[in-house]
Every structure is written in structure tokens, then in C-alpha cells.
């Protein structure tokens, strides 16, 4: 009986189903229309999903002749960390095995192992929850898997909602290959609380192995459910120009208001005024990139272009004669020369990216991608092979506010900037040069041993943690081993290519509470000429208490100095002086007593002028 039921369920999943929501056209406004009903297309839960930020209300799907619509409820971002949550909707069309093997938008730690891997990863970014404290949708990108990587092919502008709201997103069928009525979509979705989180927070369908409460753990997502398209595609509206955008000094992008037949993008179908057409840069369903002959488009000059009626949309409709031309004013640029100095001569490939978009304009979301830098005497590079990488990049000035940020990575997507991102101001079209020096890194691995002495701490110690620049501080702290003698230790491997200078602190754990050291960050340098480095015994907060019950007794020919303590692994320095206010001086050192617990004493011959004595607890590595 159980086996028969399982076979039926699997067969149903493979065959697909129309879904709980019938075909209708919702108004995408962040308000749940009646047509959505109350039964989602998919709803599963797991104890792995958190209470405060989840998808327990399910995932709704419907479609009409032009769009596929997604709807869901999600909570507000509960972390109040001024970071932008991301929502991923994965879509396989037609049950194919080919598709994305990891997540888009830099979430490379999330692996996709679905039976039908997604060709599309729709990523929606919410506001960061900072003032005015909104988690509304800011941007939705349609990403397509092409030859081993994700490419953002367009922004989806028909969306609304966000945290603690009914959220709706529409994707035009023509933008994903015009799938026909009856085609099966294999769908899933997951939430990522911030761009710097390694994994997912929750997902649909529920996956016991994927989400983690704070998304700090990388994971593999392999669950999906089937939805069958309910409506056939129909389109009789003529296409028009939505807008034109200058790309750089010699390029423009024309954006259409619906998907186009790119085979009709022919040179003779574009008539320019004030500039010379030289060719196409790219052709997509909704855009066409065009190049102009140098000097291109001059700042402040007006240009225009008229499109022929021979240009058609995917349904065969010709351009709307009332919307087949556009004009624009030339934009000014500053040439920014980006320099990256590879101090350790470690890298052969370096790419830069920053707070700019595809159009070389300021963009706080860094949507402009990564770009290769050169060390071959081209693209502004001065000397070949000197590990100073260069790229000249034209950028649109923003008046100087806010500053542009930027940074560099290697070919393995490792971020090479330590500390805050470098930044620069670009108030006008004057050319500038900016540079960043990659800190020197190790060439060999080093095992570093950390040991902290907690014998002087009178508080409860459930465990000890180690956090630092090598654990992303509190993001991934590591647990230390209790040596059962008042000390805790941990050995951490620093692989080749690690930064040489690191910082760290110890954390005392009491229940769920963290007691971080209150001193300045501890610092050490890696010496990769040796395979190991022991930092020696360190004391929590650098605190060593003084001895107690210090007494001085007259003795034959001198003084008998006695004191008590209960401490191990420390020594005692004894000083004597006739001046109460300058006892601790090297010249006044009477002797050193080794570590131990209980009673201590020092018999010493002193002159009659010594009247004051002091015992100091010290630790000498």
C-alpha cells in the first residue's frame, strides 16, 4: 500500500499540474487579489525553518496569455542589520536536466542539485530596513544560466510588495522563450537575509538539509514542485520604444516595451541623425546595443534615431508608428584609471568591480559586474608583468556625492580587499586615477595555535570561542578546546594566499550570551617560513590579578617577604625601595619567584634604607 502511494505521488510530480490558482490576470500592486484564492500552489514546512522569517504561507502561481505571476507572503527582515534581503525564485522550463548549479548574484555557496536544474534565477532585493525602515522591493533581476554562469538579462519592473506584505512578481513569457500552454515549469524559492550570508534562511519546497536559521552555513538545495502553464500566448499590440540609454561615449541601448524578433534588427532598419551607425553590440529580446563612429556622442548635443516598420515583435507586429523614434542628449564622462598593485606578486588575473552599473553610472547595488584588469602594457598599463594591473574606465560623474566604492577580486571570485572598500569622488568630467594595493600574502600554509588562560575570570565559562579577521569576526567564530587546567586552545590553519596580518579576540560563552574581550583587537603576523606558529599563553582581557596578604618580616640580615595567591603559570617580581612612589623600578628588583599556588616568600638582604616592598604578578612567555 505504501509503495503504491509513493509511486502515485511521484508520478503526479513528474506530470505536473495546473495548480491551485486558476488562470487570471492579477493587478500587481502588493495587494492580494481575490483571484489568488486561499490555497497556494505549494506549501510545506520544516522545523529547520525559523519562526521569525519564513515562507509558511506558501507559494502561489498563475499565468495569462502574456505573463507568469508569482505571489507569496514573507515576514519583515528581523535582523535590523541594515542589510538587503534577497529572494530567489528558480524556474526550470520543460523539465530539462541542464541549468544552474549554483545561485545567482554572488550566492555561490548555495548549490543547486535539483533534478530539473533552473534555467532562470529571479532575484528580488528588498530595502535594507534602515530609515525609513522599509523592506519594500527595490529591484528584481531576471538571470539566465548561459554556459556555466548566470547573466542578468533584464530588470523585471512589474513587481510590488516586500517584507510583511503580499509580494507579486510578473515575468513576461516572451522573455523566457515563449513557453506554450501545457508546458511544465519546475519551481522553487528561497530567502537569503543578506548579500554576505553563506546560505539560505528558508525555502519552498521545504528542505530539511538546506536552510539554517541565520543562513551562516553553505548548503545544497534540491527541492522543487511542478506547475503547468494554463494560458496560450496571444499578442496583437504593436511594439514601441520604451526609452534609450547611452552606454558610453560611442554606444547607446534602445529598450523596447515588449519582446522583439531580433532577426529584424538589421542595420538598414535604423536611421540615425547627428551620428553615424557602425554596428550592433548586442541583441536581446527587449534591447539592442548600437555603436556609433568616433567621436561618438558629445556632452550636451542632441541626437536621434528612427526605427523602420520592418522591425517586429515576437508575434510579428510592426513598430508602432507613434512610438518608433527617440532622441537623447549626449552624456559627459570622466576617464577613471583603476590601478591594483599586487604587492606579493601572487596573482595572474585580477578583476575590478564597483558601485556603478552597465551604463557606467553610480549604482549602490554594484550591478555593473566585474571587469578584467591588464598587466600587459595595454588599457593604460605602463609596464608589462610588474604586477600593477590597470584598466581605464569611462564613468558618468555624479556631482561628487555619494562617493564611488570599488574593489578587486581574483579569477576564483575571492575578494582581495581587506577592510573598508576604497572609494573616490567624481564631481565632474576631469580624469582621475585611483589605486589599491593588495596586502602581502603568504606563499605557504601556517598552523597557528591560540591559547587563552581563564583561571583569573570569576564568571561562569560554558565554552570559549575564537573570532577574528580570519572568521569574518562574529560571523563564523570557532570553538576552543577546554584543556581542563584553566586554559583553552585552538589551532587554525591559514592556507597559502592568506593575508599576513590578522586580528582576533576571545569570547567567553555563558549560555547564549557572548562576553567579548574589551581590549583592543589582538594582532599577529604570519611568518610562512615556518609551518607552525604558537602565539603563547594569553590572558583574557590581559588581566592578571595581584597577589594578596603581602607582609614583610624582619629577618637576620634582611627581610622575609611573604604573600599568597591561587594562580598557576605566573611569576612574581619583588621590589624594595626607600621611596614609596618609585618602588617598581629595575634598580629596585630584589628577586623573582617562580609560579605556584599557596604561600610564597622571598628572603633577601637589603640595606637599612629599604622600607617599602611590592610584589607584582607577571607572565613571561
Residues 6+ apart with CB under 8 A from 444: 496, 528, 529, 531
Say if residues 171 and 71 touch (Cβ distance below 8 Å).
Answer: no
CA gyration radius for the chain? Answer: 33
The pLDDT of residue 607: 54
Structure confidence by residue, pLDDT tens digits, 397-430? 999 999 999 999 988 777 888 889 999 999 999 9
Say if residues 122 and 140 touch (Cβ distance below 8 Å).
Answer: yes
3-state SS, one letter per residue, for 529-554: CCCEEEEEEEEHHHCCCCCEEEEEEE
CA dist 513 and 560 (Å) reads: 46
The helix (run of H) or strand (run of E) holding residue 111 is strand 110-112
Joined together, the cell numbers standing for residue 170 give: 510578473
CATH class of 446-542: mainly beta
Query: In 343-401, at which residue ranges do the beta strands (DSSP E only) sit?
Result: 350-354, 371-372, 388-395
Whether 241-329 shares its CATH topology with 337-354+361-436 is answered yes
Say if residues 319 and 238 touch (Cβ distance below 8 Å).
Answer: yes
Determine how many CB atoms are found less than 10 A away from the CB of residue 341.
Answer: 12
DSSP secondary structure string for all residues of 397-427: --TT-SPEEEEEEETT--B---SSPPEE---
Structure confidence by residue, pLDDT tens digits, 349-402? 999 999 999 999 999 989 898 999 999 999 999 999 999 999 999 999 999 999
Residues 6+ apart with CB under 8 A from 515: 459, 507, 508, 509
Pairing relation of β-strands 446-453 and 404-410?
A: unpaired
Pairing relation of β-strands 184-192 and 225-228?
A: antiparallel
| CA dist list (Å): 267 to 264, 293, 306 | 9, 14, 12
Determine how many CB atoms are found less than 10 A away from the CB of residue 80.
Answer: 11
| CA dist list (Å): 97 to 115, 179, 229 | 6, 17, 19
Number of residues that this document lists for the chain: 621
Joined together, the cell numbers standing for residue 153 give: 538579462
The pLDDT of residue 149: 86
DSSP secondary structure string for all residues of 477-537: -EEPEE-SSSEEEEEEEE-TT-BSEEEEEEEEEETTEEEE--SPPEEEE--TTSSEEEEEE
Q: Where are the domains of the chain?
A: 2-228, 241-329, 337-354+361-436, 446-542, 548-618
Query: In the Cβ-directed half-sphere of 421, how many Cα atoms lie within 13 Å?
Result: 16
Say if residues 199 and 216 touch (Cβ distance below 8 Å).
Answer: yes
Q: CATH number for the 2-228 domain, one of 1.10.287, 3.30.2010, 1.10.3470, 2.60.40?
A: 2.60.40
CATH topology classification for 337-354+361-436: Immunoglobulin-like (2.60.40)
Low-confidence ranges of the chain (pLDDT < 70): 1-19, 80, 129-134, 213-214, 557, 566, 597-598, 605-610, 620-621
CA dist 548 and 566 (Å) reads: 10
Return the biggest CA–CA distance within the chain.
117
CA dist 137 and 155 (Å) reads: 12
Joined together, the cell numbers standing for residue 288 give: 539592442
Query: In 541-620, at which residue ranges do the beta strands (DSSP E only) sit?
Result: 548-555, 558-565, 571-577, 589-593, 598-604, 612-618
The pLDDT of residue 617: 84
CA dist 498 and 479 (Å) reads: 21
Nearest to 185 by CA among 115, 94, 97: 94
| CA dist list (Å): 511 to 215, 490, 504, 611 | 21, 20, 22, 49
The pLDDT of residue 610: 66
CA dist 501 and 441 (Å) reads: 9
| CA dist list (Å): 317 to 67, 112, 437 | 18, 39, 55
Say if residues 196 and 86 touch (Cβ distance below 8 Å).
Answer: no
CA dist 154 and 137 (Å) reads: 16
Residue with the three cell numbers 613571561:
620
The pLDDT of residue 621: 62
Cis (ω within 30 of 0) for the bond into 373? no
Joined together, the cell numbers standing for residue 461 give: 565559562
CA dist 419 and 407 (Å) reads: 11
CA dist 405 and 362 (Å) reads: 9
CA dist 504 and 477 (Å) reads: 10
The pLDDT of residue 370: 92
542 φ, ψ (degrees, to nearest 5): 60, 30
Q: Is 10 helix (H, G, I), strand (E, B) or coil?
A: helix
Query: In the Cβ-directed half-sphere of 573, how many Cα atoms lie within 13 Å?
Result: 13
The pLDDT of residue 133: 52
Say if residues 610 and 577 touch (Cβ distance below 8 Å).
Answer: yes
- 325-329 sheet: strands from edge to edge: 270-273, 302-307, 325-329
The pLDDT of residue 2: 34
CA dist 285 and 154 (Å) reads: 10
CATH topology classification for 241-329: Immunoglobulin-like (2.60.40)
Residue with the three cell numbers 617577604:
561
The pLDDT of residue 276: 98
Determine how many CB atoms are found less than 10 A away from the CB of residue 197.
Answer: 24
Amino acid at each position: 500500500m505504501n509503495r503504491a502511494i509513493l509511486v502515485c505521488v511521484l508520478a503526479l510530480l513528474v506530470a505536473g499540474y495546473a495548480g491551485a490558482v486558476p488562470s487570471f490576470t492579477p493587478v500587481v500592486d502588493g495587494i492580494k487579489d481575490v483571484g489568488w484564492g486561499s490555497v497556494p500552489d505549494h506549501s510545506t514546512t520544516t522545523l529547520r525553518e525559523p519562526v521569525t522569517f519564513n515562507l509558511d504561507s506558501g507559494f502561489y502561481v498563475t499565468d495569462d496569455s502574456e505573463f507568469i505571476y508569482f505571489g507569496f507572503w514573507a515576514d519583515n527582515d528581523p535582523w535590523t542589520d541594515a542589510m538587503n534581503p534577497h529572494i530567489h525564485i528558480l524556474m526550470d522550463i520543460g523539465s530539462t536536466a541542464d541549468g544552474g548549479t549554483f545561485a545567482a548574484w554572488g550566492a555561490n555557496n548555495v548549490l543547486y542539485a535539483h533534478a530539473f536544474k533552473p534555467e532562470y534565477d529571479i532575484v528580488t532585493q528588498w530595502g535594507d530596513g534602515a530609515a525609513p525602515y522599509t523592506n519594500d522591493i527595490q529591484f528584481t533581476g531576471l538571470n539566465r544560466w548561459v554556459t556555466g554562469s548566470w547573466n542578468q538579462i533584464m530588470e523585471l519592473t512589474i513587481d510590488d510588495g516586500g517584507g510583511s506584505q503580499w509580494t507579486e512578481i510578473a515575468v513576461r513569457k516572451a522573455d523566457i522563450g515563449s513557453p506554450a500552454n501545457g508546458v511544465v515549469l519546475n519551481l522553487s524559492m528561497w530567502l537569503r537575509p543578506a548579500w554576505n550570508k553563506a546560505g539560505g534562511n528558508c525555502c519552498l519546497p521545504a528542505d530539511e538539509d538546506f536552510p539554517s536559521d541565520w543562513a551562516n552555513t553553505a548548503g545544497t538545495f534540491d527541492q522543487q514542485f511542478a506547475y503547468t502553464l494554463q494560458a496560450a500566448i496571444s499578442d496583437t499590440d504593436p511594439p514601441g520604444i520604451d526609452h534609450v540609454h547611452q552606454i558610453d561615449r560611442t554606444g547607446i541601448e534602445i529598450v523596447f516595451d515588449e519582446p522583439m524578433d531580433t532577426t529584424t534588427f538589421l542595420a538598414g532598419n535604423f536611421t540615425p541623425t547627428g551620428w553615424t551607425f557602425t554596428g550592433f553590440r548586442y541583441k536581446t529580446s527587449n534591447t539592442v546595443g548600437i555603436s556609433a563612429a568616433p567621436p561618438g556622442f558629445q556632452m550636451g548635443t542632441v541626437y536621434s534615431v528612427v526605427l523602420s516598420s520592418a522591425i517586429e515583435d515576437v508575434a510579428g507586429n510592426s513598430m508602432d508608428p507613434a512610438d518608433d523614434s527617440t532622441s537623447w542628449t549626449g552624456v559627459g564622462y570622466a576617464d577613471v584609471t583603476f590601478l591594483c598593485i599586487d604587492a606579493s606578486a601572487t596573482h595572474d588575473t585580477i578583476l575590478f568591480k564597483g558601485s556603478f552599473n552597465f551604463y557606467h553610472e553610480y549604482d549602490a547595488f554594484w550591478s555593473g559586474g566585474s571587469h578584467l584588469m591588464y598587466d600587459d602594457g595595454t588599457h593604460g598599463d605602463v609596464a608589462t608583468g610588474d604586477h600593477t594591473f590597470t584598466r581605464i574606465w569611462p564613468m558618468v560623474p555624479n556631482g561628487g556625492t555619494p562617493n564611488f566604492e570599488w574593489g578587486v577580486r581574483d579569477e576564483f571570485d575571492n575578494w582581495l580587499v581587506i577592510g573598508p572598500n576604497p572609494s573616490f569622488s567624481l564631481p565632474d568630467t576631469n580624469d582621475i586615477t585611483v589605486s589599491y594595493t593588495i596586502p602581502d600574502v603568504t606563499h605557504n600554509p601556517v598552523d597557528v595555535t591560540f591559547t587563552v588562560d581563564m583561571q583569573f575570570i570569576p564568571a561562569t565559562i560554558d565554552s570559549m570561542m575564537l573570532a577574528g579577521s580570519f572568521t569574518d569576526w562574529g560571523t563564523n567564530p570557532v570553538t576552543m578546546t577546554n584543556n581542563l587546567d584553566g586554559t583553552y586552545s585552538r589551532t587554525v590553519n591559514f592556507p597559502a594566499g592568506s593575508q599576513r596580518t590578522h586580528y582576533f579576540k576571545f569570547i567567553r560563552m555563558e549560555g547564549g550570551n557572548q562576553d567579548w574581550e574589551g581590549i583592543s583587537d589582538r594582532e599577529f603576523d604570519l611568518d610562512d617560513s615556518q609551518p607552525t606558529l604558537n602565539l603563547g599563553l594569553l590572558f583574557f582581557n590581559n588581566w592578571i590579578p595581584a597577589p594578596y596578604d603581602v607582609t614583610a618580616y624582619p629577618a637576620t640580615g634582611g627581610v622575609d617577604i611573604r604573600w599568597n595567591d591561587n594562580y598557576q603559570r605566573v611569576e612574581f617580581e619583588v621590589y624594595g625601595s626607600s621611596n614609596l612612589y618609585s618602588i617598581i623600578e629595575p634598580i629596585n628588583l630584589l628577586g623573582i619567584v617562580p609560579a605556584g599556588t599557596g604561600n610564597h616568600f622571598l628572603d633577601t638582604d637589603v640595606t637599612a634604607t629599604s622600607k617599602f616592598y611590592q610584589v607584582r604578578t607577571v607572565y613571561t612567555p
